[in-house]
Amino acid sequence: MDSTPIIQEAVKVLREGGVILYPTDTVWGIGCDATNEKAVARVFEIKRRSEAKSLVLLACDLDMVAKYIKEIPSIAIDLVEVNDAPMTIIYPGAQYLAPNAVAEDGSVGIRIPLVEEEDADADTPRKAAPKGGLTAGAFCRELVRRLRRPLVSTSANISGEPTPASFAEIPEEIKAAVDYVVPKPFGAGATGRSSQIIKLGLDGEVQILRP
């Protein structure tokens, strides 16, 4: 299945303030443009989740992260370069994002979707495409790159309920509430497991919140 029209449709929906259901390198997620306050509010509404709780965002690379963080701690660069498992980094000093996408202390969790295989001749590392299309990590990295803004990535479950390990486990209520559902073939590579979470401070502090 050609991923181009799927990504184009998803980006169109996102730019219009819509919410999508899509695969990531960890679990299936509910997403929207992280700079659109009304769209972020809809994500909280769909999940029945308090806006007091923070969200994870996806970026396509560190250059995108740098646009939305006042100052990236130097250790973050090392962590991203050596990372071999899905990793969400909580950065201090978020900027230019929807206020309800940022934690009360001004921090925000951002993950660059993990891809397994890199093409040395490509500008963007990609995971090898399976027969059904791009794997999840490569798909959502390309999606974010074309959106040109960070993408909200919160698990596709009602708040307080278990995180779905596969598309089949996603509640029908969630599927019906979003504006666009990415076809299942692009979910190849989603592990069904959450990422590790690391919180960084500007002075080099490192907290491992979830191994």
Q: How do residues 91-148 score in pLDDT, each as one tens digit?
A: 999 999 999 999 999 999 999 998 865 433 344 333 344 444 578 888 889 999 999 9
Between 31 and 53, name the one with better pLDDT.
31
> Between vectors from CA 136 to CA 135 and to CA 141, what angle results, nearest 5°?
105
Give the containing element (helix H, strand E) for 90.
Answer: strand 87-91
Q: For residues 171 and 191, what is the distance between their CA atoms, to the nearest angstrom?
A: 18
In this structure, the number of other CB atoms found within 10 A of the CB of residue 81 comes to: 8
Q: How do residues 40-55 score in pLDDT, each as one tens digit?
A: 999 999 999 988 788 9
* 30-34, 40-44, 164-168: the lowest-pLDDT one: 164-168
**Ranges of each domain in the chain:** 3-210
* pLDDT for 33: 98
Q: Which pair of tokens denotes residue 138?
A: 């490569």
> Between vectors from CA 182 to CA 181 and to CA 185, what angle results, nearest 5°?
135
Q: Which CATH class is domain 3-210?
A: alpha beta
Q: For residues 127 and 145, what is the distance between their CA atoms, to the nearest angstrom?
A: 15
